[in-house]
Amino acid sequence: MEKIIKDIEELTKKYQSDVIDFCQRLIRVPALSGEEKEVADLYLEEMKKLEFDHILRDEWGNVIGIVEGNEPGPTIMYNAHLDHVDTGDISEWGGYDPYGAEIDINQMENQDCDGYEQVEVIHGRAAADVKAGGACQIYSGKILSDLKKKGYPVKGRYMFTGVVLEEPAEQLGMIKLIEETLPKEGLEFDGVVSCEATSLKIYLGHRGRVELKVTLSGVTSHGSAPWLGINAVNKSTKFIDQVEAYIKENHKTDKDLGDSSIALTIIDCTPGAMCIVPDRCNITYDRRFVPGETYDKCVEEIQKIIDDLSAKDPDFRATVEIATVPRTTYTGKTVAVPNVKEAWKISKEHPFTMAASQGISKLGQAVKYGYWDFGTDLSVVAGRYHKPAIGYSPMQEFYCHRPIDKVRIDYMLKALAGNVGIYQELVELSQEAFQL
């Protein structure tokens, strides 16, 4: 065991400059949602260069790379997403080019977010979400390939997947990967390690999410005679107050994931013109919920509020539905799926978690746990298909989607080895352990 750990550490040092360079090249390629082709190409080219055993791009634009073991065993999917959010106001980036991938010494939060350290970092959009993690996963696959060439037993199959359209939140890329591409290619997987930001901790779940669209209806009239119409915006005020009050009083709590919540994120009206009382008010809610709740139940809660208000006011009319927006991939395929994420959580005592923890512990890394504030594509994996999953990566949530987007290089090198250690432990599990 000591010899393989030493070889993993030596291979990590060998590929240190390569993984940093690959991360920089990924950052320099813009990849907004629906525009991921160039970064997908870059992943495919790198896996080809590193001699992954199988490489493919599916019709949705997802990419897959496989390192085959030399002994039978389970398939562990290491997952990243290809897209990132917009850069926002460039003036907020403190002089850094969002696509420059500049390296310098910078102040970064420590692992427990209770202090700061001066360390070497890579700056740029998606450094923290998730290009640094994707780069590490690719080169962790290369280390496993090298271990196999050195004669070590490498069980199972290491499968990297990079999926499209994660940021819009409907999980389209992951859904199509699991439901269509993998069956079509004759591929299966037993568990997943996501490279969403975890600060080298093992992350074990997050709340669910549903985007709710509420439309309140009124009747237009001239602004000079509002009594002749029904102002949909005015009707919305009591509704908004009741929604806030209901969630405050009835929200559920999970000891690890926190409280369920609701946030009004978008509101507008039509016709939205001078001198016209609006006959429509459109509201979008971001509803987060904990295990034990469902997105259907979240819709029912809003419908009950609508029904109660309608019973008291015959002029109150409203509808609620789950938002569904058509998305088009860079390959030209268009589809609409409901904007939902299931809540999920895996316990610290689950065999999958314990094996992953042992994997990094053997490499001298501290075993710490966490839970995401935001949602990930693991909702499909663990929440919908009940496959065991964790998060493990070098990036930190604090820097995601912000104009201080950056990643610690020291954490990247630990993750490069850590991914390998986790894999080597996970493939030793029995098939019964891959149940959630």
- Specify whether 31 is located in the same domain as 102: yes
Q: Is 13 left (phi over 0), alpha (psi -120 to 50) or beta?
A: alpha
CATH number at residue 39: 3.40.630.10
Whether 119 maps to a domain, the answer reads yes
Number of domains into which the chain is organized: 2
Provide, for the chain, the percentages of residues in helix, strand and coil under a 3-state DSSP scheme, each rounded to the nearest 5: 35, 30, 35
The pTM assigned to this predicted structure is 0.95
Residue with the two structure tokens 């696509």: 99
Transcribe 47-96 into DSSP letters: HHHTT-SEEEE-TTS-EEEEEE-SEEEEEEEEEEES-B-----GGGGTT-
| CA distance linking residue 253 with residue 383, whole number of Å | 18
**How confident is the model over 307-338, as pLDDT tens digits?**
999 999 999 999 999 999 999 999 999 999 99
**How confident is the model over 18-40, as pLDDT tens digits?**
999 999 999 999 999 999 999 99
| CA distance linking residue 243 with residue 279, whole number of Å | 21
- Specify whether 236 is located in the same domain as 124: no
Half-sphere exposure of 22 (CA within 13 A, CB side): 29
Domain boundary among 292, 326, 360: 326
Asked whether the predicted pLDDT for residue 199 surpasses 70, the reply is yes
**How confident is the model over 225-268, as pLDDT tens digits?**
999 999 999 999 999 999 999 999 999 999 999 999 999 999 99
Please give the pLDDT value at position 1.
63
The boundaries of the domain holding residue 104 are 2-206+343-433
- Specify whether 72 is located in the same domain as 171: yes
Mean pLDDT of 394-412: 97
| CA distance linking residue 394 with residue 396, whole number of Å | 7
Whether 338 maps to a domain, the answer reads no
- Specify whether 98 is located in the same domain as 172: yes
- Specify whether 168 is located in the same domain as 257: no
- Specify whether 175 is located in the same domain as 231: no
Whether 259 maps to a domain, the answer reads yes
Q: In terms of pLDDT, which residue wins out, 147 or 3?
A: 147
- Specify whether 190 is located in the same domain as 261: no
Asked whether the predicted pLDDT for residue 344 surpasses 90, the reply is yes
Please give the pLDDT value at position 2.
80
